A and B are shown apart, each in its own frame.
Chain A
Amino acid sequence: PSGNSIGLEAIIRKALMGKYDD
């Protein structure tokens, strides 16, 4: 996966856990 899709995945994982801080 490209760097972009890793960034996207990190945002999704945090949002699924309800974390928005960083």
Chain B
Amino acid sequence: ELTQEQLSLLNYILDAYNKYRIPLDMAKNLLQEQFSADENFILLTEMATSHVQVLVEFTKRLPGFQSLDHEDQIALLKGSAVEAMFLRSAQIFNRKLPHGHSEMLEDRIRKSGISDEYINPMFNFYKSVGELQMTQEEHALLTAVTILSPDRPFVKDVLSIERLQEPMLEVLHTFCKLHHPHNPQHFARLLGRLTELRTLNHHHTEMLMSWRVN
């Protein structure tokens, strides 16, 4: 079972995660308007910027984050922003959307000018996250674990970050055991998605380059 302290931590993270959203108007644009490839590029760029802004707000609420060295805070956010964005978009993509919206979203992304070489692994990732049928709690904790990864480039105080990440991993582990008693591999599978995210992060720079060239 989760201890009282762990339960408080979980609820706190979940609450912060639920508030972490891009403005609704921007999300509506994505589904309602018809844009040219250029306008698609600008809209997706604005959404990415907005995503980083709300991600920072979520991250500020992670217990202990604000007591970290300021440059380490930036190194953690810089290292994880792309992964958190893919994780978040995987969650949105796997949600039950109104009829036709998933197709429209996929179509818009596919027509944004990014090569299939980069688009396909992204949709494969979305599908592999979808198969896990993650709860909101699992998404919140996995995002926190991703952000508080001590092995990001330019991090100085690895130990302090490990101390913040560990309780999140413990809560996630216990939560998985409680909610998936018949699937002992669930926790390991969640962590496996983090490995996939690292690969997507690695290819992200090349993906942006191909987007710009196109």
**A contact residues vs B (CB 8 Å cutoff):** 2, 4-5, 8-9, 11-13, 15-16, 20
Contacts of B78 in A (CB 8 A): 5, 8-9, 12
With A9-B78, A15-B56 already in contact, 4 other A-B pairs whose C-beta atoms are closer than 8 Å: A8-B52, A12-B52, A12-B56, A16-B70
Which 6 residue pairs across A and B have the least CB separation, nearest first? A15-B56, A12-B77, A15-B53, A11-B52, A4-B208, A9-B78
**Does B81 lie at the interface of the complex (its beta carbon under 8 Å from any beta carbon of A)?**
yes
- Determine the interface band of chain B, counting residues with CB < 8 A from chain A: 10 to 19
**Does B36 lie at the interface of the complex (its beta carbon under 8 Å from any beta carbon of A)?**
no
Least CB distance, A16 to chain B, in whole angstroms: 6
Least CB distance, B68 to chain A, in whole angstroms: 11
**Total A-B residue pairs with C-beta atoms closer than 8 Å?**
31
| A16 in contact with B81 given A4-B208, A9-B74 (CB within 8 Å) | no
- From B49, B60, B205, B208, contact of A16 by CB (8 A): B60
**Does B57 lie at the interface of the complex (its beta carbon under 8 Å from any beta carbon of A)?**
yes
Q: Is the CB of A12 within 8 A of B57?
A: no
Contacts of B70 in A (CB 8 A): 16
Contacts of B56 in A (CB 8 A): 12, 15-16
Main secondary structure of the interface of B (DSSP, over half): helix
Among residues of B, the one whose C-beta sits closest to the C-beta of A12 is: B77
Identify the interface centre among B49, B56, B81, B208: most chain A CB within 10 Å of its CB.
Answer: B56
**B contact residues vs A (CB 8 Å cutoff):** 49, 52-53, 56-57, 60, 70, 73-74, 77-78, 81, 205, 208
* Alpha-carbon distance A21/B152, docked complex (angstroms): 28
Q: Is the CB of A16 within 8 A of B53?
A: no
Q: Is the CB of B73 within 8 A of A11?
A: no
Least CB distance, B204 to chain A, in whole angstroms: 9
Q: Provide 6 A-B residue pairs closer than 8 Å at the C-beta atoms, listed in order of the A residue.
A: A8-B52, A11-B52, A12-B52, A12-B74, A12-B78, A16-B77
* Alpha-carbon distance A20/B23, docked complex (angstroms): 13
* Alpha-carbon distance A15/B56, docked complex (angstroms): 6
Contacts of B52 in A (CB 8 A): 8, 11-12, 15
Least CB distance, B70 to chain A, in whole angstroms: 8
Q: Is the CB of B205 within 8 A of A4?
A: yes
